[in-house]
Amino acid sequence: MTGAPTDGRWCEALDLANAPGDAPAAFCADLSPSSLLAAYRRGLFPLPAADEYAAALNEALFEGRVADGSIGLSGAPAQAYRVAWWSPDPRPVLAPDQVHLTRRLTRRLRNGTPWSATADRAFGEVLAACAAGREQQWLTAELRASLERLHRDGFAHSAEVWEGGELVGGVFGVLAGPVLSLDSMFHRRPGAGQVAVAELGARFAEAGGELLDAQWDSPHVRALGARPVGRAAYLARLGRDAVPGGLPGGERPVARAAVLAPARS
């Protein structure tokens, strides 16, 4: 592929059926809102390089696979290697109303905590909190600006957990048809991030959402209830009808999450 159009057309040429599942599917520096949305709808998500060294490392590690065509590249290599686009195979997913909480956390919520939960009230604050203190700073200023635009347009959502007026946990993701792809979460109190995921999932299910995509498989997302599915099955879900409208709004007590979410040991 040559050129780097800013309308998302670059990802249409990718053959994801044969793309690597354990390496980037493509490199392209286009992080515009239209590019982001098109990529998520194709089953891709971005991992920008934090600096020039990280971009050079991408080129050193993967230029051979780009040369043989197994990894796509759009635009001049000096720019393209700044952003890797991943489509892992398998992909960890879970039903939006089946986010697991630990039994200990569930008991805490049922016994009463000073927490409440909202959706889409503080998207920018959640982004900033997810970016803060990370050694690998993939949430670059450019990516955050595009995610903010997608949020304003109704294609990116967040859930927030509050203790009084303090934001103590949150999560955000991008909408791709009936799937919400979860990008990052944070917590300032133990368990607050898990509660944010459960709250976002519950509201997404109420809106007609079918699937949460946890992106990277790990013990952490397995503990939340995620299970791996093959890429082909995941991509097939993306082709279904989009979720109409936004998420249910309003502030809710977090004890509701303890009632709705399955408990685990």
Are 25 and 144 in a shared domain? no
Does residue 5 surpass a pLDDT of 50? no
The rounded distance, in Å, linking the Cα atoms of 38 and 210 is 19
How many domains, the chain? 2
* 3-state DSSP assignment of residue 175: strand
Least confident of 30-44, 134-148, 162-176: 134-148
One-letter amino acid at 37 equals L
**Is 2 a member of any domain?**
no
Query: Is the same domain home to 77 and 129?
Result: no
Q: Are residues 82 and 155 in the same domain?
A: no
Q: Is 128 a residue whose pLDDT tops 70?
A: yes
What would the pLDDT profile of 246-256 be if each residue is shown by its tens digit?
899 899 988 66
Q: Which domain holds residue 60?
A: 9-86
Q: How confident is the model at residue 240 (pLDDT cuts 50, 70, 90)?
A: confident
Residue 181 pairs in a beta bridge with 174, 213
3-state secondary structure 68-90: CCCCEEECCHHHHCCEEEECCCC
| Residue 67 Cα distances to 26, 63, 263, angstroms | 12, 6, 48
In a domain, 259, yes or no: yes
For residues 200 and 71, membership in a common domain is answered with no
The pTM assigned to this predicted structure is: 0.92
Predicted confidence (pLDDT) per residue in 169-199, tens digit: 999 999 999 999 999 999 999 999 999 999 9
pLDDT at 160: 97
Do 98 and 221 sit in the same domain of this protein? yes
- Per-residue pLDDT at 2 exceeds 50: no
Beta carbons of 164 and 188 less than 8 angstroms apart: no
Residue 1 lies in a domain: no
Q: Are residues 180 and 239 in the same domain?
A: yes
pLDDT value for 133: 72
In a domain, 240, yes or no: yes
Dump the DSSP string for 31-81: --HHHHHHHHHTT-EEEE-SSHHHHHHHHHHHHHHHHTTSSEEES-HHHHT
Q: What is the mean pLDDT of residues 92-112?
A: 90
Residue located via tokens 């249409």: 12
Predicted local confidence at residue 65, as pLDDT: 96
Q: Are residues 193 and 111 in the same domain?
A: yes
- Predicted confidence at residue 23, as pLDDT, reads 97
Model confidence at 50: pLDDT above 50? yes
Q: Is the pLDDT score of 126 beyond 60? A: yes
Q: What is the pLDDT of residue 4?
A: 44
Q: Which of 43, 63, 86 is where one domain is finished?
A: 86
Q: Give the whole-angstrom CA distance, residue 207 versus residue 75.
A: 38
Q: What rounded mean pLDDT belongs to the chain?
A: 90
Are 127 and 226 found together in one domain? yes
Mean pLDDT of 81-93: 97
Is 103 in the same domain as 81?
no
Sign of torsion over alpha carbons 35, 40, 44, 50: positive
**What's the rounded mean pLDDT across residues 192-216?**
95
CATH number of the domain enclosing 181 = 3.40.630.70
User: How many angstroms separate the CA atoms of 38 and 160, rounded?
Assistant: 26
Q: Is 71 within a domain?
A: yes
Whether residues 80 and 102 fall in one domain? no
* Tokens linked to 65: 């696979």
Q: Are residues 142 and 238 in the same domain?
A: yes
Q: What is the mean pLDDT of residues 46-72?
A: 95
Is residue 129 domain-shared with residue 255, that is, in the same domain?
yes
Q: According to DSSP H, which parts of 101-184 are helical?
A: 103-110, 123-131, 141-152
Name which residue leads in pLDDT, 113 or 166: 166
| Averaged pLDDT, 147-174 | 96
- Compute φ and ψ for 249, nearest 5 degrees: -95, -165
